[in-house]
């Protein structure tokens, strides 16, 4: 891994930090199957900062001074799904399939009303090794709100 230059990095305004049981297993999943890259790591702290396209996420192995407010029991992240936008779902789906990794919800096309239009996305959901529910979405553009939905 090359030396990281924090002064020139484009930091996201919101970056979730997920506690994991086994950082190496999580890195294998996030990097090899989902296509993220480790921007930098603090191995002694069980920590890694990842990115893929414009998405950034932090992973921290439990037991390294985490700020957990309660005992964690799998699946982690209950009641939360993290939507991450991507330019293409297919490379991730291909790698997950090759690894026989289960898909929580297969790819579907969804349209969501966003004011005066609907925004479309093709999306799928998968759980990481600790059970966090990850929703990856590929944009399909916008369309007019159907008349019956606008009423």
Q: What is the pLDDT of residues 127-139, one digit of tens each?
A: 999 999 999 999 9
Two tokens, residue 73: 């029991």
| Nearby residues of 47 by Cβ (< 8 Å), 6 or more positions away | 23, 41, 58, 59, 60, 61, 64
pLDDT of residue 120: 97
Long-range contacts of 105-112 (CB under 8 A, 24+ apart): 109/140, 111/140, 111/143
pLDDT of residue 17: 95
Question: What is the distance between the alpha carbons of residues 133 and 56, in angstroms, rounded to a whole number?
Answer: 16
pLDDT of residue 81: 95
CATH fold label, 6-63+74-150: 2,3-Dihydroxybiphenyl 1,2-Dioxygenase; domain 1 (3.10.180)
pLDDT of residue 2: 59
Q: What's the number of CA atoms in the CB half-sphere (13 Å) around residue 23?
A: 19
Question: What is the distance between the alpha carbons of residues 13 and 8, in angstroms, rounded to a whole number?
Answer: 15
pLDDT of residue 151: 58
Residue ranges for the chain with pLDDT beneath 70 = 1-2, 66, 149-151
Task: Give the CA distances from residue 146 to residues 63, 118, 122, 151, in Å, rounded to whole numbers and listed in that order.
Answer: 51, 9, 19, 9
pLDDT of residue 72: 84
Question: What is the distance between the alpha carbons of residues 61 and 80, in angstroms, rounded to a whole number?
Answer: 19
Question: What is the distance between the alpha carbons of residues 48 and 37, in angstroms, rounded to a whole number?
Answer: 10
Question: What is the distance between the alpha carbons of residues 133 and 104, in angstroms, rounded to a whole number?
Answer: 8
**Whose CA is closest to 134, among 73, 100, 93?**
93
pLDDT of residue 6: 86
pLDDT of residue 149: 58
pLDDT of residue 126: 98
């Amino acid at each position: 891994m090359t030396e990281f230059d924090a002064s020139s990095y484009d930091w996201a305004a919101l970056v979730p930090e997920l506690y994991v049981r086994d950082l190496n297993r999580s890195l294998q999943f996030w990097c090899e199957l989902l296509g993220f890259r480790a921007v930098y790591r603090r191995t002694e702290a069980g920590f890694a900062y990842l990115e893929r396209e414009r998405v950034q996420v932090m992973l921290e192995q439990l037991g390294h001074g985490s700020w957990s407010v309660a005992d964690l029991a799998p699946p982690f992240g209950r009641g939360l799904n993290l939507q991450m936008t991507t330019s293409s779902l297919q490379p991730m789906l291909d790698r997950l399939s090759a690894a026989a990794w289960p898909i929580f919800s297969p790819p579907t096309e969804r349209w969501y009303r966003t004011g005066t239009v609907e925004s479309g996305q093709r999306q799928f959901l998968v759980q990481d090794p600790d059970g966090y529910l990850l929703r990856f979405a590929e944009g399909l553009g916008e369309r007019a709100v159907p008349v019956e939905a606008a009423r």
